Amino acid sequence: MAGLLDYFGDDLTSTSVLVLLAILVRVLTGVSSYSGAGDPPKYGDYEAQRHWMELTINLPVRDWYTDSEFNSPDYWPLDYPPLSGYQSWLCGLYLRFVDPRAVAPMASRGYETPASKAAMRNTVIAADLLGGVWAGQQPGLPQLLAVAKLGVTVLATLALCWAPYLTSLEAAMRVVARIFPVRRGLYEDYVANWWCATSLLLKWKSAFAPGTLLRAAAATTLAAAAPAMAHQIAGRGGEAGGEGEGGPSRWGLLRCMANSAFSFYMFSFQVHEKSILLPLLPVCLLAGHEPLLGAWLPLLAGLSMYPLLERDGLALPYVALCGLYGAVVASTALEHARQLQDERRTAAATSAGSAGGGGRSGRVSPAAALLLRRWPALSLAALVGAAALHAARLALPPPERLPWLHDRAFISAAFGGFAVAYLYLQASQWRAEAGPGVAAGPAGKARGKAD
Per-residue pLDDT of the chain (451 residues; tens, 9 = 90+): 555 555 455 566 667 777 788 888 888 888 888 888 888 888 888 999 999 999 999 999 989 998 888 998 889 998 888 888 999 999 999 999 999 999 999 999 999 888 899 999 999 988 888 776 655 555 544 555 666 677 777 778 878 887 787 777 777 877 877 777 777 778 877 889 999 999 888 899 888 988 899 999 999 999 999 998 888 887 765 443 344 444 567 788 889 999 999 999 999 998 888 889 999 999 988 887 788 788 888 889 999 999 988 888 888 889 888 888 877 776 676 666 666 666 666 655 565 555 444 444 445 456 556 656 776 777 778 778 888 999 999 898 888 888 889 999 999 999 998 998 899 888 888 775 434 443 333 334 444 443 4
- Three-state secondary structure of 81-106: CHHHHHHHHHHHHHHHHHCHHHHCCC
Structural contact between residues 56 and 90, judged by C-beta atoms closer than 8 angstroms: no
Look at residue 392 in the predicted model and tell me its pLDDT. Answer: 92
- Please report, as a single letter, which amino acid is at residue 27: V
CA atoms 12, 14, 18, 21: torsion sign: positive
Of 310, 290, 81, 65, the closest CA to residue 174 belongs to 65
Q: Note the pLDDT of residue 259.
A: 94
> What does the alpha-carbon distance between residue 349 and residue 23 come to, in Å, rounded to a whole number?
44
Q: Which residues of 195-211 are buried (b: 16+ CB within 10 A; e: fewer)?
A: bbbebeeeebeeeeeee
DSSP 164: G
User: Are 185 and 270 within 8 A, CB to CB?
Assistant: yes
Residues in CB range of 418: below 8 A, 6 or more apart: 192, 262, 265, 266, 276, 279, 300, 304
Distance CA 317, CA 261 (A): 27
**CA-to-CA dists, residue 311 to 75, 80, 374, angstroms:** 20, 25, 35
Residue 377 burial by Cβ neighbours in a 10 Å radius (0-12, 13-18, 19+): exposed
Given this model, what pLDDT does residue 262 score?
95
Q: Give the bridge partners for 367, in sequence order.
A: none
Per residue in 219-234, is it b (16+ CB within 10 Å) or e — as a string?
A: ebbeebbeebeebbee
Residue closest to 332 by CA, chosen among 301, 358, 294: 294
What distance lies between CA 61 and its chain's CA centroid? Answer: 29
User: What pLDDT score does 23 carry?
Assistant: 86
Nearest 5 degrees, angle CA 216-CA 218-CA 219? 65
279 touches 265 (CB < 8 A) = yes
Rounded to whole angstroms, the Cα distance separating 445 from 357 reads 13
Q: What distance separates the 2 farthest-apart alpha carbons in the chain?
A: 77
C-alpha of 226 from chain center = 19
- 366-372: long-range contacts, CB 8 A cutoff, minimum separation 24: 368/423, 368/426, 368/427, 368/430, 368/431, 369/427, 371/420, 371/423, 371/424, 371/427, 372/424, 372/427, 372/428, 372/431
Please give the distance of CA 102 from its chain centroid, rounded to a whole number.
30
Report the distance separating Cα 226 and Cα 83, nearest Å: 28
Rounded distance, CA 51 to CA 70, Å?
A: 10
Q: How distant, in Å, are the alpha carbons of 79, 165, 235, 394 from that of 169?
A: 18, 8, 39, 54
Q: Under 8 Å CB-to-CB from 242, ≥6 apart: which residues?
A: 249, 250, 435, 448, 451
Task: Provide the residue type at 214 as one letter.
Answer: L
Burial class of 450 by CB neighbour count within 10 A (0 to 12, 13 to 18, 19+):
exposed
